[in-house]
Structure formats: C-alpha cells, structure tokens
Structure 1
C-alpha cells in the first residue's frame, strides 16, 4: 500500500471523531455568536487587565471606523507589528470587520527586513508598538499618508487608562465609541498575509483565506477536544502562524479566554499559568525548555493541562521525554507550515508518540481531520510505507498561494496540493516522520545524508545541549557534514571526542568531519534554527 492509497491513519482517530470539511463559516461568524451569547465572557487576560467579548467587539469597531475614515476597506492590508498584546486581537478583528487583510510582522525584524515586508504586503495601515516605532520610524514613514496606529506595552494591562496622546494612539481610538462596523465576508477572501519563516532567505507572504483559518482553528478545537470558553495560554508568538492559529484563531473560534504576557519570558509565563490555570497551549520546544529550567517549576503547575503541544520546530525524542517528566504531561508533536495555515499532522489524544529507531526521529503524528498527506518520489509518484520522499499535503487548510509570486505559487501549490519541501516517510501503521528539509540534504560520496539524523545522534551525548549540521566542501567526498554544537553549562568535551562519539553510532558517510563549539545557534524569531546562517 502506498502513502496515498487509502487513509490508514484514520484508524488512530479517537472513537466518535469524524473528519472535518470546510464549513462555509468564518471566524467572525463564531466571534459574533460569542458576543451575542456571552458578551461578559473574558476574551483576553493580560497581566491585571481583562477584556470581555463585548469590549473587544466595541474596541474593534472603533479601530475599524478609524481605518475606514482613512480610506481602508475590503482588500486593504493592515500590517501589525506587535508582541503578544491584546492590541493584536483588536487589530485583527478590526481588519476583518472592514473586509481587510491582517498582515502580522515580526517585531524582531530589522529595519531593512521591515522595509521589505511592508513593500511585499503593500500595507495600507500599520498598528505598531511605540518602542518599535522609535526604532523603525523612518521605515514606517515611507507609508506617507497611510494611517499608523500606535500602542504601548501597558495598554490594556489593568493600569489606569491612558487615553491622551494624538489621534494615532490606539488607547484614544478605542475609547471613542462608534456604531458597529461589519462587512459580509466571503470565506474565499484573504484573511491574513503571513510571512514565511525566512530560514533560507527573505520572507514572502502566504495568502491564507478565511476558510483556511476557520478550518484549521476547528481542527485544533476538535483534535484537542477544547470546550467552548476554555482558557488558552499564549506561549507562542502570535505574529507567527503557530500562535496566530493555535492561540488567536482558536480563541475566536470557541469563545475562549486567551492569556497573553507581552513577551514569552519563562518566569512571567509561569506566573500566568499559576494564576489562570490554562487548559491548552502550543509552542516551539525552546519555550518549554525555558520553563523547565526554572528552579521552582513542578508538575503541579501544569496540572490544568491535559497535554502540551509543540510545533514550529523539530523535537528530539530525549528532549520530549525529559520535558514530559519535568511537567508531568506528555509533549506531543504537531507538524504544520505557514503554507498550510498551521496544523497538518499531530499525535492523537492519549497516544504515545512513536520513535523511528533507524533515524532517531520522533513521529509528527498522523494527518489531522480532513487532511491527506502523501510521500512522493522525484517523479511525483506515491511511495510505499517506509520509503523516503517529499511530504505533500492536501486539505482545506492549504493556503491559496504566495502573495504576488505566481511562479513560486505554481511550483509549491500546483495541482491543488502543497509541496512542503520536507523529506520524510510514512510507516506501515500510518504514522509520519520528518527527516529533514530537502534543501538541507548533504551529498557525501553520492550518498544522501540528512542533517537532522546527525543532530539527533549528537544530542544523545550527555554534554551536548543543541546541535546543528550543515554541508561543507570536501575535495574527496564532494560534501561532508560539519556540526555546530552548544554544550551543557560547565561541560567539557573536545572536538575529537564528539567526532569519535558520532563515528561510533553513525554510518561512515554520516558522522561529522568537523565540530565547532558555539555559545548559541542562530534562530528565526519563532525558534527555528537557521542553518543558512552557519558555515
């Protein structure tokens, strides 16, 4: 049986769960229903502040009216340059009330990167933190007569309301009550332009429709069995697709309460966990590592969670096991992409995540509801279980394409399916495994060598905290692996020792020929290791 023949993974779906299909609804339909049914329910908790659904609705009306008066409407683009603040939800809902598109940008972007992003999405307005405006003011001023709305870290945190300032102040704008603003949304319209992670170059934007966003938020709801009104912890950056869907979209879908902490500082997050007892979160594994390193953290702190989800970056089996023991809750992998509006595959509730012994790879789970995943060869034909090829996805969450990039769209999204660029395989039971990115493959003496397999082997050494492997030129082999290694605190190990350690557990073509010790590995804003910055 090939990976595309039938859907063997559905055997792992919990009893009573059924596949999802596109609903024809948008998140604004669900949001409006919550406002009507539960206007006093808390939508966002932020330090000592709380915003109800009725208040969020009214604030978004005020901002939408302000932007409408500045000339924005359907098909306009509202860029967001914010941290994990309530202003993000106000701005997203306001954009959708206008029929506009929200474009979340990383607050960690450099000024040249910001210029590129603003040009790429053709922003008609920007909602930005004051501290970021101070850094990037000259870049933002290029928008000329387009509105720039400024918010602060302390807006909505429970401090006495500060509604002074000029007309660009978000606090002042939302303090002005207006008539409701609403636009009938077509599910096929773009909802968000989300930048790709930029691990291999400058970011481009995906066009994620209202149908995409509503569907994947519904996947999260059903897969995690989230009740309406659940408490969701914002542990991922909400400007990235994982947090955008797994926090913001899920909150609007189920009328949840979203707990935000501005930045994801472990001590501040732990305080929020103890205070608000959230039931669900998803985050890159480095966020969990930061929490685990707090000296006073205990499993009791995580008793309100049934499971902890990790997405956005690979998870090593030993790391997942260690963190699961520390928290008293399993860490479950979720595999997704910006191009698939977040979730593609995940571990079903209550199941143990299998590990492939040959590659030391933790499974990414099985395809989520309504989703088909195939493993294909270079000719595009389906491969049999166990055979390694490219991961190809189809389902209602697959984005419409890249913004103003027809050639890239045709290459990646052609034929109604998403070519992920990730390499992996499906086992005989329908579980999927990601080995690496196809672009990162090392060709050593004609053999395919995958960096992640070497990284996983290195991380079994007790003194290795992190590792990243890249190709280096080799006159004899063509290419050879080189490892960049972060050691555990106070650890001491030599390059020779690590090479010999790797040589003892890896094939001759795979062990690294060079090891360089570094204090930290370069990462994207969302925690992914940037191999392209090494070497």
Structure 2
C-alpha cells in the first residue's frame, strides 16, 4: 500500500499541487489563449527570422482553412513529415483546429516505413519537406493519400505532381474555418507511432486531454517553482525532434503554453548548438543522452555559457551517471533525468529543478500521477516491497486512449486504468524511482537476472568509453551470456581484454561481459537513442537462432 500513500508528495515545492486541472477546451485552445496573452512576443525563431504568437495562430488557422476547403473534416488524418521548423508548428495546430488527427511521420523513414504508417492510419492528407517528397510519391499509389502539401525551407522549388501544392500557395487567401466541437477526453489528437522494438510499429492514440494534461503537469512541476527567475525574453532551445513525443511535449507544446521563444534547430549539430547557447543565453533545453555524450566530447565546452542555463533535461533513453557527471563538471550546469514513453504522452516521472536529484534516479512522479512497482501475476497486479524490483505501472490523465486499430494490444497494456510500461524499476523509501531496464531486455545468465543498463553504467566509468550497448546473446551453457559493444572516445585506445578486466573489478562474475566488440559507431534512432535491438537482431542472425 506504500505506493498509494505517494511518499513523493512530501518532496513537492509549495507552489506545486498534488493534482492537475486542464483549463483548455482543446489543443488549439492552447495556442489561441497564448496568442491572446503573449501577442507580439516571438513564439518561434528559425535562423534569424521570428514569428510572434499572433502570427503563429494566424498561419495555423489559414492552414486549417485550406485543409477545410479540400474536404478535411473532424477525425480525418493529417500526416506530418517535417524536421523541426515553424511549418511543423503551423501544420500541427492547423490539424488540431479542425479536430483532425495528426499522424507523426519520422523524416528519416524509408518508403516501407512511410507506407506502413500511411496505410495503418488510412491517411488522406500529408505535409512533407520538399527533399522527402519523392519518397512519399513513391508509396502514394499503395495508400489512401490524396493530397500532399510541400514545405520548402530554402533553395529552388521544383514542379509538383497533380494537385499537390507548396505550403505558401496552399494557404494563400484562405480564411474560412468552421466551428468544430471537440470532446477533449475522447477525441484523438495524435497518432504517435512506436519504434517497433517489440514487433510492428503501432499507432499510440493520444487525446487532446492526454497531451494537454501532460504539458500542464510538466510545466507546473518545473516552471512554477522558478517563475520569478524566468526572464522577459524567455527562450528555450527546440533541438529535440518534434515528431518524437518528447520533443512534441516539452518543446512544441510547452513552449506555446509558457510563452517561450522557441529557438528552433532542424537537426543536432554540437558546434551549432554551442554557438546558439553562447549567443542567445536560453533558459532551458531538453535533449536525449547521446546529445550530451556528443557535447561532452567537444573541446572548450566549458567556455560556451552552459552553466548560465537554468537547467537541462534528459529523456528518451537511460542517462548514464558518469556521462551526466561529466557534463555537469565541465559546464557547471544542472542536468536532470526523467522517464517517459509514447503511451504516456510522454511523462509520468521527472527530476524537477527544485530538488537535488539522487544519482541514477529518474525522479519522482509529477502531479496527478500514480506509480507502482508490481509483479504481474494471474491474480492481478501485486505490489512489491519498497526497494525491490518489478514492473513499473502508471495511472493518470496522460495514459493513452489505446493503440489505433489494435484493441487486443490495448487490453494487454492497460489494466484497470494502469498502463503496464514494460520497464523494470524500483522505488526507494523517499519516493524516487530508478529504471533498471526494459522487461524484454533483461538477460538471464545461468539463472541470474542481469540488467544491461547496470553493466553499461559501469563500463561508462572507463575513461576510454564513449558509448556502450550491452545485450544478451544465446548461450548453450548459460542460456544467455552478456555481450558488450563499445565505441571508443576519439584518440583513446581500448581492447576487449581491457574491457573484461575492468568489468571484473566492478561487477559480480555473472554480470561481466563474456564477449566484447569494439565498433566505430553504434546504431541509433533518429532522435539519437542507442538501439540494442539492432545489434541483438544481428547477433541472432549470425548464429542462426
């Protein structure tokens, strides 16, 4: 019952309440109210050009009017395949305005992946970057897609096919937007496709209330306690891909709600980011761990003013303690870890700036959120004692509506309102949570449970290691054995034998990698998340299992 007592509440800042209330009728209402409140303040800045909150609302409404004229109605799907850019925001809120369902499409997808998302969602309308247009046209005949709007961020325009149009031509002179009634709790606003790490990629249905609740939960948790410190020219860096739910929430939506000027970067380039921090002096930035790894490797990082940023947040993948410590020591900045997944819009747990985080912890539950550590049994969900490991489950307004077109998968994932995260975790006596690993990634070697993240964290302490992935590979004697893949820091030298020796000094024998492979690069997702599954699949193919 200790989880139901919510021990973390005693850690809350006095300005943070236990619950969350949503004051917006829809996601477009979020932009509408911010435009009324912040007016001519810059909402978006992209390579020297800025758009105010009023301009952003005007263009989003023009885009909605143009979609309406094309026959787009409530519940229709709009696929967005854009890098971070003002046009992403315009189209996102344009779709929300009509009660449409925005479908996130990763710009790095190849034709097969684009086709899967479009077919699975039965999407008829799409907005895409000009460089990606040929990929979309290649798969269009196999889909329901009937209208493609193209965004050019510079360079020479080319002729489009059929009735496809460039964004500026599409919205020109369009002003008529119908009144649309939106049920905040029931109407789906977004289909966020999972990465497919456990099979076919599924569309996570996020309602207006899911996304609104979570952005309010997180913003109130991190911004209200430091409200007096926020400058008038409040700036945040939007470098996390907005097509990823982490970037969508903490940048695209949070920036609009808080009246921040989003300094938008279409891609992560360490030197460009460092120069931006030095020049613009932002208040906050969010990134994934591998971005911080890359920054740690940049010469002169300590000279760019990172210590003047109020805080940095990390999510999307485990943040190794040693890498976080290195970043903080070099910059004097605060780097705060959190936890989330697409099915949770995405955040239930975070390290707020008003607390001194515990090393290795992803933080405490945010307002309106219940978290338990359980064993999933035939008799139901049974709580495990404090400090012991089990599957983490979450209940709150940010829990998804379900998987698009997959009721069975939804029933397996949501039980009595609790979302089964698939992550192995533990809670300490103060209410801090620690992610040990993915349930499906856990290695069972000679009957012992080995958590890859724990082994990775140890190996990150070696001064020559830049990145590491640990997986379990089939072994006739042990069932599974531990294998480590390592990328060595530039200029450093490291042998597999040295890795094993280092691991033996810091790990129990059954956790020590029996195999080590040094690679030039480790596989990453489009948002920089290290991908265990790619290396695991390669190993299985090698041995023919």
- TM-score bracket, normalised by the shorter chain, equals over 0.9
Shift, 1:207, TM fit: 0.5
Query: Could you tell me how far 1:348 is from its partner in structure 2?
Result: 2.6
Bigger shift: residues 282-291 or 376-385:
282-291
Aligned residue in 1 for 2:5 = 6
- Contact conserved, 1:78 with 1:125, CA < 8 A, in 2? yes
Find the aligned partners of 2:293 and 2:390 in 1 and give their Cα distance.
Answer: 31
Instruction: Give the Cα separation in 2 of the matches to 1:493 and 1:288.
Output: 22
Q: Aligned partners of 1:154 and 1:106: how far apart in 2?
A: 20
Q: CA deviation at 1:172?
A: 2.0
In the alignment, structure 1 residue 212 sits paired with structure 2 residue 213: no
State the partner residue of 1:246.
Answer: 250
1:184, distance to aligned residue in structure 2 (A): 3.1
Residue aligning to 2:14: 15
Tell me the alpha carbon deviations over residues 280-327 of structure 1, each in whole angstroms, 9 at most, x when there is no partner: 221101222333433343365225521110011111111101101222
Q: What is the CA distance between 1:75 and its match in structure 2?
A: 0.4
Q: What is the CA–CA distance in structure 2 between the aligned matches of 1:394 and 1:142, rounded to whole Å?
A: 39
SS in 2 for 1:198: coil
1:305 match: 309
Q: 2: CA distance between counterparts of 1:233 and 1:345? A: 22
Change in Cα spacing, 1:449 to 1:210, as seen in structure 2 (3 Å) is same
Cα distance in structure 2, aligned partners of 1:494 and 1:53: 54
Q: Are 1:260 and 2:261 counterparts? A: no
2:349 corresponds in structure 1 to: 345
Contact 2:336 2:357 in 1 (8 A): yes
Measured in 1, the distance between the counterparts of 2:200 and 2:73 equals: 29
Match of 1:281 in 2: 285
Q: Whole-Å Cα distance in 2 between the matches of residues 145 and 470 of structure 1?
A: 40
Is the 2:523–2:530 Cα contact (8 Å) retained in structure 1? yes
**SS of the counterpart of 1:78?**
strand
Q: What is aligned with 2:504?
A: 503
Partner Cα distance (1:34, 1:465) in 2: 42
- 2:408 corresponds in structure 1 to 407
Q: Report 1:215-234 matches (<5 A).
A: 215-225=213-223, 230-234=234-238
Q: Who is 1:158 aligned against?
A: none
Q: 1:163 to 1:172 in 2, by over 3 A?
A: farther
Partner of 1:319: 323
Which secondary structure does the structure 1 equivalent of 2:127 belong to? strand
Which position in structure 2 is the counterpart of 1:186? 183
Q: Kindly state the Cα deviation for residue 492 of structure 1 after the two structures are TM-superposed.
A: 2.1
Compared with structure 1, are the counterparts of its residues 349 and 402 closer, same or farther at alpha carbon in structure 2 (3 Å cutoff)? same
Contact 2:390–2:425 (8 Å) recurs in 1:
yes
TM alignment of 1:378-457, pairs within 5 A: 378-379=376-377, 380-457=381-458
- SS of the counterpart of 1:373? strand
Distance 1:24 1:15, change over 3 A: closer
CA distance in 2, matches of 1:476, 1:167: 60
Assess, with a 3 A threshold, how the Cα gap between structure 1 residues 144 and 446 changes in structure 2: closer, same or farther: closer
Superposition CA RMSD, Å: 2.2
Equivalent pair of 2:443/2:452 in contact (CA under 8 Å): yes
Matches within 5 A, 1:139-158: 139-143=139-143, 146-154=146-154
State the shift of 1:24 in Å.
Answer: 5.4
Deviations 1:436-485 (A, max 9, x none): 00101111111111111111121212211121111122222111111111
Question: Which secondary structure does the structure 2 equivalent of 1:281 belong to?
Answer: strand
Specify the alignment match of 2:196 in structure 1: 198
Quick one: distance in 2 between partners of 1:197 and 1:24?
A: 32
Structure 2 residue ranges without an equivalent (≥5):
540-545
Matches of 2:216 and 2:159, distance apart in 1: 40
1:526 is aligned to: 527
Q: Could you tell me which residue of structure 1 aligns to residue 173 of structure 2?
A: 176
Residues 482 and 300 (structure 1), Cα distance of their counterparts in 2 relative to 1, 3 Å cut: closer
Are the equivalent residues in 1 in contact too, given 2:375–2:391 (CA < 8 A)?
yes
How far did residue 162 of structure 1 move? 8.8
- Tell me how far 1:55 sits from its aligned partner: 1.6
Deviation at 1:3, TM superposition (A): 4.6
Superposition TM-score, scaled by structure 2 size:
0.91
SS in 1 for 2:483: strand
d(CA) in 2 for partners of 1:412 and 1:462? 40
* In structure 2, C-alpha distance between the alignment counterparts of 1:12 and 1:414, rounded to whole Å: 29
1:60–1:174 contact (8 Å) kept in structure 2: no
Q: Deviations over 1:67-121 (max 9, x none)?
A: 1122111001100000001110000111011110111111011111111111122
Looking at structure 1, the residues matched to 171 and 292 of structure 2 have their Cα atoms a distance apart, in angstroms, of 35
Match of 1:122 in 2: 122
Query: Residue 24 of structure 1 contacts residue 187 of structure 1 at CA under 8 Å; is this kept in 2?
Result: no
What is the TM-score with the length of structure 1 in the denominator? 0.93
In structure 1, the gaps of 5 or more residues are: 156-160, 356-361
1:110 corresponds in structure 2 to 110
Question: What is the CA–CA distance in structure 2 between the aligned matches of 1:521 and 1:162, rounded to whole Å?
Answer: 36
- Does structure 2 retain, via aligned residues, the 8 Å contact 1:70–1:146? no
Aligned partners of 1:163, 1:133: CA distance in 2, in Å? 11
- Within the alignment, does 1:48 sit opposite 2:48 as a pair? yes
Question: What do residues 321-347 of structure 1 show as CA deviations (whole Å, max 9, x unaligned)?
Answer: 110122221110011111000111111
Residue 3 of structure 2 aligns to a residue whose secondary structure is coil
SS in structure 2 opposite 1:469? Answer: strand
Query: Which sits farther off after the overlay, 33-42 or 203-212?
Result: 33-42
**Count of aligned residue pairs for this structure pair:** 523
Cα separation, 1, equivalents of 2:425 and 2:497: 31
Could you tell me whether the CA contact under 8 Å between 1:162 and 1:171 is conserved in 2?
A: no
Name the counterpart of 1:359. none
